[in-house]
Amino acid sequence: MKKILALSLTLIMCLTLVLAGCSKKNNGAASESPSASSASPSETTPAATETASPSESSGPVTIKWATWMGQEDVERVIKAFEATHPNIKVEKDTSVDWPWNEKLSAVAAAGQLPDVMWTFGVPFAAANGWLEDLTPFLEKDIEYQEGKTFKNLDATANYNGKQYALVHSLFMFAINLNLDLFEKENVPVPPVTWTVDDMRDAAIKLTKFNEHQFGMSGIGGLRETLPAQFDPNLQWNTWDGEKFNFTSPAFKEAVDYVDGLMYSDKVTYDIYKPEEIEQWFGKDQWPWMLGKVAMQYDGTWSIGGNSKNAKFKWDIRPIPSAVGQKVPLITDYLGMSKSSKNKEAAFEFIKWVTYSKEGWMERLKPEWPLGSVPLINDQEVWDLYLNRKDMPPGMKDLVKMIPDGFVDLIKYLPGYQVGLDTVYGPTFKDIKEKKAKLEDVAADLEKRMNTTYKEANEQLMNAAQ
């Protein structure tokens, strides 16, 4: 019995020494990692020390990636990433598909979240506790600390001081111009610094109803982005960083301007019945691509299609100014699963598809299809992007506006999607159908949208504690 007791004590002492050694090693590693100059370092960095670096592991590690990219694009990204990261293998997680949040919820319930996931709504994923805080990884990453990312984009997915996601794709809303129609109607091509009055005058002159030629199309969405031009303190859909402002004069000015273009000036085919539009242009035909629209309000995702399919000369301009001129930005996000067993490898992949210069220099090669606007402010990257053969000249002016741009709320602001579906959408449906006037419902719209945001934000902040 004494021998057994002595042996047990010996084993306990050995185990204590081993654990003490590991503790000193971990504490030393944490104290050596640099912190960002603009943020206090985390007291502990479990995410950064839970898993071994891929280069230190005995063999390649495999991570799973949930994305809605097409298979050809997925294979292209994976091949390029693995070429410079031989110790990391990436597999597309085919179990996550549309409806996106529903499928993510299913794999989360089964304890099978992918290591890296695209999110259709960062607040939804963060509030459910799925996302790892990327702050510790970013604080010790030299390339991120160079400060070349756009801070206005990073901030959108930072909640309560925790960076739950990064932007992986960026697009901008702008006005595409059919230069041939401008020339045909002897209308001057607008400069970058054009105004809302310039756009209205041009739209009227370029509209020839008898020829089924229209000055503009797709302009209903300007109700959400023009208020920021009438009041530079506003962002997307009157959001000011803290609350919605639908009772502001700028919102009424923007709505009245758009309604004037549509219903008084009748510069767009959008106001006509579907059967009339089909009769004029043919079934499933896009009037813009047919050369029958002079100015198309659209996202920069249209550049590739325009360059490939348009039979006319075209260019692009930012949304015109009123009091100010700011560019609307559209973002998509990705994050790391909190349950990932290969977080260092997952972060390397996240970095490569978001802010790594190596990643951008690869994806901007001519053989790659045109996708996102670059997410780092690097001259060599911009030269490669802006000098592509499929790039309209006007893009060089739009990209300069990114740092002061404002971001679409739908994928990062708590409660916004719910508010659109249950408050904003129904309200504007009533206004369109003449069942209500904006001045009569603006205060209620503002109150209900802000209440929806506050409730969702409170839920998210509680989860982010």
Residue 7 lies in a domain: no
Instruction: Give the C-alpha separation, 113 to 96, whole Å.
Output: 9
Split at pLDDT 50, 70, 90, the class of 419 is: very high
Would the pLDDT of 44 be above 70? no
- Are 427 and 296 within one domain? yes
- Are 182 and 298 within one domain? yes
- Are 135 and 283 within one domain? no
Count of residues making up the chain = 465
Would the pLDDT of 294 be above 80? yes
Whole-number pLDDT of residue 430:
96
Domain that holds residue 182: 172-329+406-463
**Average pLDDT value over all residues in the chain:** 90
Q: Which of 341, 373, 396 is the last residue of a domain?
A: 396
Residue 32 lies in a domain: no
Helical H segments across 341-432, by residue range:
343-354, 357-363, 379-386, 395-399, 416-419, 425-432
Would the pLDDT of 34 be above 80? no
pLDDT digits (tens, 9 = 90+) for 107-135: 999 999 999 999 999 999 999 999 999 99
- Are 69 and 177 within one domain? no
- Are 130 and 193 within one domain? no
- Are 325 and 340 within one domain? no
Residue 11 lies in a domain: no
Residue 288 lies in a domain: yes
Phi/psi at 140 (5° precision): -105, 5
Mean pLDDT of the 381-399 span: 97
- Are 68 and 200 within one domain? no
Residue 25 lies in a domain: no
**Residues 94/67, Cβ–Cβ less than 8 Å:** no
pLDDT digits (tens, 9 = 90+) for 328-358: 999 999 999 999 999 999 999 999 999 999 9
pLDDT digits (tens, 9 = 90+) for 45-62: 333 434 445 655 568 999
- Are 182 and 274 within one domain? yes
Mean pLDDT of the 163-189 span: 98
Task: Please give the tally of structural domains in the chain.
Answer: 2
The distance between the two most distant Cα atoms of the chain, rounded to a whole number of Å, is 107
Instruction: Give the C-alpha separation, 95 to 267, whole Å.
Output: 46
Q: HSE-up of 396 (CA within 13 Å, CB side)?
A: 9
Whole-number pLDDT of residue 53:
55
1 versus 183: the higher-pLDDT residue is 183
pLDDT digits (tens, 9 = 90+) for 19-30: 334 333 333 333
Whole-number pLDDT of residue 398:
98
- Are 322 and 375 within one domain? no
- Are 299 and 389 within one domain? no
Q: What's the pTM?
A: 0.87
Least confident of 27-31, 262-266, 378-382: 27-31
**Residues 318/325, Cβ–Cβ less than 8 Å:** yes
- Are 295 and 429 within one domain? yes
Instruction: Give the C-alpha separation, 11 to 16, whole Å.
Output: 9
Residue 265 lies in a domain: yes
pLDDT digits (tens, 9 = 90+) for 303-319: 999 999 999 999 999 99
pLDDT digits (tens, 9 = 90+) for 425-458: 999 999 989 999 999 999 999 999 999 999 999 9
> For a pLDDT cut of 70, what percent of the chain falls above it?
88
Instruction: Give the C-alpha separation, 111 to 100, whole Å.
Output: 17
Q: What is the CATH number of the domain that holds 139?
A: 3.40.190.10
Would the pLDDT of 147 be above 90? yes
- Are 310 and 411 within one domain? yes
Name 316's bridge partners: 176
Split at pLDDT 50, 70, 90, the class of 465 is: confident
Whole-number pLDDT of residue 23:
38
